[in-house]
Amino acid sequence: MSAAVPMDPQRSVTTTTFRAAKAQGRRIAMITAYDAPTARMVDQAGVDAILVGDSLGMVVLGHDSTLPVTMDDMLHHTRAVVRGTSRALVVADMPFLSFQVSLEEALRNAGRLVAEGGAGAVKLEGGRRTAETVRFVTQAGIPVMGHVGLTPQSVNQLGGYRVQARETADALTLIDDCRALEEAGAFAIVLECIPAELAQLVSNELGIPTIGIGAGVGCDGEIQVFHDLLGMGDFTPRHAGRYAEVGTAIREAVGAYTQDVHDRAFPAEAQTTHLDQRVLAEIKAARAAALKPASGGSLSGGDRGGL
């Protein structure tokens, strides 16, 4: 694997592009987005694929886990991201309990994300236990991305957000999970928070691309959460890159604006429109006439005295 040639930024990315990228040793860059303007910016920046992650719940909706995210939330934000994207592949996350209850429900919900949301693929968490679902959904024509390692929807079972598969048995289980997902038809697999050596082994064994987050540089691609990467969250996980300090820039800019409003320094001339002097004079004259006290009007004392 090498980081040689980037994908053609002018061409629409599909799951076929993912397969070709792995075959040709081109790394795949993914990022999350949850709204149209962000999707537009990351698409223009040349990212290969955009994940409408259920991290939405934590980084945008203010929940403390991904568990409360609903299908309605995912559909609403997927539509927005698709409206802002013209080139990258949009992958929509299947939220908690949208695919675990039955195969039929999983297919119906995956179908909604594609048909109503406009996503090009869906992602769902879990290894062998979700392989049957991956097969059922892919056989209906919907591309599925797997997700193993730290799977946030199972946070209560995993005992927290921590690195997974550090020991031999867990690592071998994870490899089996990945092979089961590939065999079931997944077009790619997210490897979240696992040791780099294990991620490299998995990437070497699989024919489909691995997309790492907290899994070292040996994966076939990388995904990061937009807000982590740009310094917009309250907390930055260890695996997150920090490419800008947008949170600090926003706080400083809004603080300066607030001060200017308080000081009557904003709006300034540049943001202001003025009336033509003639129009202003006419308006003032009209108002003066309208507000002039009535003299000799209908209820004067003289009139009353005449009754």
Q: Which of 93, 182, 220, 222 binds ligand KIV (CB under 6 A)?
A: 93
By CB under 6 A, the residues from 196 to 255 that bind ligand KIV are 213, 223, 225
Q: Which helix (H) or strand (E) holds 148?
A: strand 144-149
Q: Which of 15, 17, 32, 78 binds ligand KIV (CB under 6 A)?
A: 32
Q: Which residues contact 190 (CB under 8 A, 6 or more apart)?
A: 123, 145, 146, 147, 148, 149, 210, 211, 212, 213, 223
CB of 54 to ligand KIV, least distance (A): 5
CB of 212 to ligand KIV, least distance (A): 9
In the bound state, the residue with its beta carbon closest to ligand KIV is: 53
Q: x/- site string to ligand KIV, residues 171 to 190, per CB under 6 A?
A: -------------------x
CB of 10 to ligand KIV, least distance (A): 26
Q: Would residue 167 show up in a list of annotated catalytic residues for this protein? A: no
Among 125, 167, 183, 192, the active-site one is 192
Residue 22 in tokens: 């792995």
Q: Does 54 bind ligand KIV (CB under 6 A)?
A: yes
By CB under 6 A, the residues from 273 to 292 that bind ligand KIV are none
User: CA 48, 213, 168: angle at the middle one, nearest 5?
Assistant: 135
Q: Which of 53, 84, 120, 221 binds ligand KIV (CB under 6 A)?
A: 53
Q: Which residues contact 140 (CB under 8 A, 6 or more apart)?
A: 107, 110, 111
By CB under 6 A, the residues from 102 to 161 that bind ligand KIV are 147
CA distance 268 to 258: 14
Pairing of strands 188-192, 210-213: parallel
What residue has token string 């899994």? Answer: 215
Active site amino acids: 192
